[in-house]
Amino acid sequence: MATSTKSLVSIADISRDEILTLLGQARYFEENPNNRILQGKVVATLFFEPSTRTRLSFETAVNRLGGRVIGFSDASTTSSTKGETLKDTIKMVSNYVDLIVMRHYLEGAARYATEVTDIPIINAGDGANQHPSQTMLDLYSIYKTQGRLEDLDITLVGDLKYGRTVHSLLHAMKHFPARFKFVACDELKMPQEYKDFCDANGIKYEEYTEFSPEVINNSDIIYMTRVQRERFTDIMEYERVKNLYNLNNAMVQDSRDNLRILHPLPRVNELSMDLDDNPKAYYFEQAKNGLYARQAIICRSLGIDIPVIPAQK
């Protein structure tokens, strides 16, 4: 039954209860990934920045639910190269579809899109700002592997300055008290605004520059991130920091049994291939969880009620 449609621009816009509902719906979709509840719906995927997982999992989510997809993965083939504004692009596409999923290199682009159209917008990443659907699959992955979201030791490693996945995750974790370790070099450390957010919301954190055995062996989740070449204006700075943090099999041999290693992917050098067969490596399953989390998000955005398998109280 259709209720109201809703955009998802920032994970900060949704409540703890809504997050738990989405996690329960993701679990429902993991058990029931194929049905026709989107029959008659058309979804646009507008990707102004490259993507593999996010775009393909959103499109798979729609296809498995019986909807149809239009869109582009390369904005250079669109009329934006002729000077068409983002506003006009969004207004035009809104004439054709029921929902827009968009990724854009400008922070705030998805929020802006919601202001120029009445149809729901899902933010699939806006610059270094937010990546809320990634956060939902990250939370689902943490819950599935740890059995809870609270009272965990979570270590974020790498590009904490530009990494929109870690920024979004911190916003969500204000609802689920945990202890964070931030591991980054000075050039890529967590921005002050996110540390202020942690302080204001009682999120405990410690900062490290060294990815030491003590840090690794006292973690339930290690969330590795890629140093994002595309965010640097100074390529020499990128070259200086790009290989500072990597994780291999030997480094986790004394880690907790319940440790799981996450990474939003793509990886470059930060996860050694020798980790891939380690049962603590969870990044490929994490990406698979994106399908179920995004099925739940799409249904929320289109106002389609679906069952919830409760995740936690």
Among 10, 26, 38, 53, binds ligand CP (CB under 6 A): 53
Pairwise CA distance, residues 233 & 245, whole Å? 21
131 a catalytic residue: yes
Pairwise CA distance, residues 171 & 197, whole Å? 8
Pairwise CA distance, residues 308 & 253, whole Å? 37
- Find out whether 300 and 6 touch, Cβ atoms under 8 Å: yes
- Find out whether 183 and 153 touch, Cβ atoms under 8 Å: no
Stretch that binds ligand CP, among 34-42, 51-59, 170-178, 232-240 (CB under 6 A): 51-59
Pairwise CA distance, residues 53 & 231, whole Å? 19
Tokens representing 214 are 């003590």
What residues between 91 and 130 interact with ligand CP by CB under 6 A? 125
134 binds ligand CP (CB under 6 A): yes
Rg (CA), the chain: 19
What residues between 260 and 279 interact with ligand CP by CB under 6 A? 264-266
Nearer to ligand CP, 244 or 293 (CB): 293
Counting every residue written for the chain, the total comes to 313
Nearer to ligand CP, 115 or 230 (CB): 230
Size of the site for ligand CP (CB under 6 A): 9
Nearer to ligand CP, 55 or 94 (CB): 55
In angstroms, what is the minimal distance from the CB of 308 to ligand CP?
25
Pairwise CA distance, residues 258 & 260, whole Å? 6
82 a catalytic residue: yes
Task: For residue 193, give the nearest of 171, 221, 210 by alpha carbon.
Answer: 171
Q: Which one of the listed residues 21, 27, 45, 53 is annotated catalytic?
A: 53
Nearer to ligand CP, 7 or 54 (CB): 54
CB neighbour burial string for 281-295, b if at least 16 within 10 angstroms, e if fewer: bbbeebbebbbbbbb
Q: Which one of the listed residues 21, 45, 54, 225 is annotated catalytic?
A: 54
Nearer to ligand CP, 51 or 272 (CB): 51
Neighbouring residues of 71: CB distance < 8 A, sequence distance ≥ 6: 43, 44, 45, 46, 47, 59, 101
Identify the residue whose tokens are 């999923």.
101
175 a catalytic residue: no
In angstroms, what is the minimal distance from the CB of 88 to ligand CP?
25
Identify the residue whose tokens are 């290693």.
261
144 binds ligand CP (CB under 6 A): no
132 binds ligand CP (CB under 6 A): no
Q: Estimate to the nearest angstrom the gap between the alpha carbon of 137 and the chain centroid.
A: 7
Among 10, 54, 135, 141, binds ligand CP (CB under 6 A): 54
Nearer to ligand CP, 255 or 262 (CB): 262
51 binds ligand CP (CB under 6 A): yes
Among 3, 52, 79, 243, binds ligand CP (CB under 6 A): 52
Tokens representing 87 are 């506003």
227 binds ligand CP (CB under 6 A): no
**Residue numbers annotated as active site:** 53-54, 82, 103, 131
Enumerate binding residues for ligand CP (CB under 6 A).
51-54, 125, 134, 264-266
